[in-house]
């Protein structure tokens, strides 16, 4: 999977850093520069998430995306962080143990290797909160 | 604003058209549609082509001009030609642009076409091109695939409403049954619930037979102002509504993972514009890129209550002869899903049905038909309502 390389420099990808609108109180991850509620009237500031949340829904990917073949089968989930926003991430460990409503917490992990240059890239995955 | 009618239609065969090029198939569809309408090149005021990813699938961009050129509309006639892109909703959106052009008076005879040539690349490359319709940076980078995103919708739908894998499979079984009656369909074989459930698991709970295939195909329509439509054809089909809505590009940002709010909103706008309700619609082509997508669509378009799409399907209400026949063409699942062509093909099927020319899959006495075309996991939805009477 080829993507522009700008994401390598994004703190938000590595540190679960998003944004917060002090006008309406909503938190955003991935970060947004414009509040979806207040739009131009919003006041956006950076916010680092605690990294705890709950699984809203999930799947076990068996036919993997390009670049993820060696990881299959892997659990992919939509996780609602305790501050409110949701994100898509992998859940580490046995896919069979993943369930809706499961409490999880974030970890820093290797996501994969990019293309023929073999560049390793990193980001956030999740583990069971009691692990 | 002027009323608009469809006066000509044509689908190519859908399937693995290895011996043919993108321009070949669009020209076949386009020529077929203008012959059906009885118009000539000099009459055409504009051309819109829905195409999602020509650059990835066949290394060709600038599709609007390419198609105008090879249709003989460029060198002498200089017809304006525009490519329209909204992932798998590209075709529906091309139709909407064409309708707006005629309605506004900027054009009289306008062609809306859609095309995709997807089998010229390997399946991994095709999947990668399709994944670009999701949020590449925040979904794709986490390892998401399109079957994976729709699987997460399915998993929550099952958890919340008790929808079963068997009910999902019934969507595929029904659409294959309909596909058998459609000469242009990619798959013209019946399948069983057991075959779906025993096929390879792509992403829990979706099996390979829950997924629409990789397909080549093209489709085209000719539009005219309603007041002159009878000069071209005895059976013009009228546009009662054209509506479009957007939602977040990423599935994880949705209000409700099991509802495509863009579909709900586009349908609401379409019903208001047509002054009709779900009970008035006689048949619908919905965007069944995965079986769960059809279940959500019959709910989101108002044909059954939220959460009841599974049981509604299981009880045969969406079959030909049921309360609301869904995907008489075979849908994306059996007719095939050449992404940029799908929205146009859906409209061609509805027009064919409303003209009473659908043969063995004809819905008797159909007056009103609807087409519902979705881009990505629901970031774009386009809904059209068609009518036999003006």
| B107-141 per-position pLDDT tens digit | 999 999 999 999 999 888 898 899 999 998 899 98
- Quick check: B143 and A62 CB within 8 A? no
Give A112's contacts in chain B (Cβ within 8 Å). 143
Q: Residue B2 and residue A124: Cα distance in Å, rounded?
A: 53
- Overall average pLDDT of the B83-108 stretch: 98
Whether chain A has a CB inside 8 Å of the CB on B144: the answer is yes
Tell me which chain A residue has its CA closest to the CA of residue B141: A111
Tell me which chain B residue has its CA closest to the CA of residue A66: B124
Distance from CA of B147 to the nearest CA of A (A): 8
- Quick check: A63 and B203 CB within 8 A? yes
Distance from CA of A10 to the nearest CA of B (A): 11
Closest CA to B201 of B250, B157, B162, B165: B165
Kindly tell me if the per-residue pLDDT of B65 is higher than 90. yes
Whether chain A has a CB inside 8 Å of the CB on B255: the answer is no
- Disruptive mutation site among B123, B137, B141, B153 for chain A (greatest number of A CBs within 10 Å): B141
Catalytic residue among B176, B207, B337, B372: B337
Degrees, nearest 5: CA angle B355-B277-B340: 55
Per DSSP, chain B holds a count of helices (H) and strands (E) of 13, 11
Enter the ipTM: 0.94
Residues 6 or more apart from B98 whose CB is under 8 A from it? B46, B48, B110, B111, B112, B221, B223
Least confident of B140-149, B165-174, B306-315, B347-356: B140-149
**% of chain B surpassing 90 pLDDT:** 97
Give A66's contacts in chain B (Cβ within 8 Å). 124-125, 127-128
- Quick check: A88 and B145 CB within 8 A? no
Tell me which chain B residue has its CA closest to the CA of residue A56: B156
Q: Of the candidates B143, B250, B252, which has its C-beta nearest A65's C-beta?
A: B143
Closest CA to B375 of B119, B58, B191, B114: B114
Residue pointed to by tokens 């195409």:
B51
Q: Residue B251 and residue B272: Cα distance in Å, rounded?
A: 27
- Quick check: A76 and B124 CB within 8 A? no
In angstroms, the Cα distances linking A48 to A14, A27, A105 are 11, 10, 14
- CB of B212 within 8 A of CB of B187? no
Q: Residue B241 and residue B284: Cα distance in Å, rounded?
A: 14
Of residues B269 and A9, more confidence is placed in B269
- Quick check: A65 and B153 CB within 8 A? no
Q: Of the candidates B142, B159, B205, which has its C-beta nearest A76's C-beta?
A: B142
- Quick check: A63 and B147 CB within 8 A? yes
Instruction: Give B320-339 pLDDT, tens digit per residue.
Output: 999 999 999 999 999 999 99
What's residue A1's pLDDT? 45
Residues 6 or more apart from B297 whose CB is under 8 A from it? B260, B263, B286, B287, B288, B309, B326, B372, B374
Residue pointed to by tokens 């989930």:
A77
Mean pLDDT of chain B: 97
Q: Of the candidates A30, A57, A68, which has its C-beta nearest B143's C-beta?
A: A68
Burial bucket for residue B305 (CB in 10 Å: 0-12, 13-18, 19+) = exposed
Run means of pLDDT, 10 residues per run, chain A, 131 residues: 55 88 96 94 96 98 88 96 97 96 95 71 90 63
Q: Which of residues 227-246 of B touch A (CB under 8 A)?
A: none
Confidence band (pLDDT; 50, 70, 90) for B20? very high
Chain A residues bordering chain B (beta-carbon distance below 8 Å): 1-3, 7, 30, 56-66, 68, 71, 74, 76-79, 85-90, 100, 111-112, 121, 123
- Disruptive mutation site among A57, A89, A101 for chain B (greatest number of B CBs within 10 Å): A57
Tell me which chain B residue has its CA closest to the CA of residue A1: B128
Give B251's contacts in chain A (Cβ within 8 Å). 78, 88
Q: Of the candidates A74, A79, A100, which has its C-beta nearest B143's C-beta?
A: A74
Q: Residue B286 and residue A64: Cα distance in Å, rounded?
A: 27
- Quick check: A57 and B141 CB within 8 A? no
Instruction: Give B26-43 pLDDT, tens digit per residue.
Output: 999 999 999 999 999 999
What's residue B87's pLDDT? 98
- Disruptive mutation site among B142, B149, B258, B259 for chain A (greatest number of A CBs within 10 Å): B142
Please say if B88 is a catalytic residue.
yes
Whether chain A has a CB inside 8 Å of the CB on B200: the answer is yes
Give A61's contacts in chain B (Cβ within 8 Å). 143-145, 147-148, 151, 203
Q: Residue A21 and residue A86: Cα distance in Å, rounded?
A: 16
Whether chain A has a CB inside 8 Å of the CB on B2: the answer is no
Q: Residue B298 and residue A4: Cα distance in Å, rounded?
A: 38
Kindly tell me if the per-residue pLDDT of B215 is higher than 70. yes
Instruction: Give me the sheet containing A17-21, strands edge to edge.
Output: A27-28, A17-21, A44-48
- Overall average pLDDT of the B44-54 stretch: 98
Degrees, nearest 5: CA angle B250-B151-B290: 95
What kind and span of H or E run contains B12? none
- CB of A29 within 8 A of CB of A13? no
Q: Residue B263 and residue B245: Cα distance in Å, rounded?
A: 7
What's residue A6's pLDDT? 55
Strands A17-21 and A44-48: antiparallel
- CB of B216 within 8 A of CB of B17? yes
């Amino acid at each position: 999977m080829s993507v522009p390389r700008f994401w390598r420099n994004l703190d938000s990808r590595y540190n679960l850093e998003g944004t917060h609108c002090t006008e309406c109180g909503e938190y955003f991850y991935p970060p947004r520069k414009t509040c979806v509620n207040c739009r131009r009237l919003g006041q956006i500031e950076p916010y680092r998430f605690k990294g705890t949340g709950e699984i809203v829904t999930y799947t076990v990917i068996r036919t993997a995306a390009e670049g993820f073949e060696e990881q299959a089968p892997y659990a992919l989930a939509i996780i609602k962080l305790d501050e409110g926003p949701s994100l898509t991430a992998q859940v580490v460990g046995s896919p069979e143990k993943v369930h809706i409503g499961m409490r999880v917490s974030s970890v820093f992990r290797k996501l994969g290797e990019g293309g023929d240059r073999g560049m390793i890239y990193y980001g956030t995955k999740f583990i069971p909160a009691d692990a | 604003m002027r009323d608009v009618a469809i006066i000509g239609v044509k689908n190519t065969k859908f399937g693995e058209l290895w011996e043919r090029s993108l321009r070949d198939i669009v020209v076949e569809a386009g020529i077929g549609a203008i012959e059906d309408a009885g118009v000539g090149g000099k009459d055409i005021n504009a051309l819109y082509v829905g195409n999602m990813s020509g650059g990835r699938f066949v290394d060709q961009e600038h599709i609007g001009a390419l198609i105008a050129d090879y249709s003989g509309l460029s060198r002498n006639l200089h017809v304006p030609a525009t490519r329209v892109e909204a992932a798998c909703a590209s075709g529906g959106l091309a139709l909407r642009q064409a309708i707006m052009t005629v309605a506004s008076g900027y054009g009289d005879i306008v062609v809306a076409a859609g095309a995709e040539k997807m089998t010229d690349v390997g399946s991994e490359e095709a999947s990668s091109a399709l994944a670009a319709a999701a949020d590449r940076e925040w979904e794709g980078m986490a390892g998401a695939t399109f079957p994976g995103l729709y699987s997460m919708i399915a998993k929550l739908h099952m958890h919340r409403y008790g929808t079963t894998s068997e009910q999902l499979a019934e969507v595929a079984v029904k659409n294959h049954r309909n596909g058998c009656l459609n000469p242009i369909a990619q798959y013209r074989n019946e399948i069983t619930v057991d075959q779906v459930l025993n096929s390879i698991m792509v992403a829990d709970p979706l099996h390979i037979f829950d997924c629409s295939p990789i397909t080549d195909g093209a489709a085209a329509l000719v539009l005219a102002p309603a007041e002159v439509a009878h000069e071209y054809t005895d059976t013009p089909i009228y546009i009662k509504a054209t509506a479009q809505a957007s939602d977040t590009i990423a599935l994880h940002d949705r209000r409700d993972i099991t509802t495509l709010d863009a579909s709900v909103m586009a349908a609401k706008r379409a019903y208001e514009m047509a002054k009709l309700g779900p009970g008035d619609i006689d048949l619908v082509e919905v965007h069944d890129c995965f079986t769960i997508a059809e279940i959500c669509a019959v709910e989101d378009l108002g044909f059954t209550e939220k959460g009841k799409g599974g049981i509604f399907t299981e009880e045969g209400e969406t079959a030909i002869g049921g309360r609301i026949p869904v995907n008489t063409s075979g849908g994306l699942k059996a007719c095939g899903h050449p992404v940029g062509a799908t929205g146009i093909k859906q409209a061609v099927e509805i027009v064919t049905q409303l003209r009473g020319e659908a043969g063995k899959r004809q819905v008797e006495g159909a007056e009103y038909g609807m087409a519902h075309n979705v881009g990505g996991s629901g970031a774009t939805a386009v809904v059209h309502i068609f009518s036999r009477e003006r």
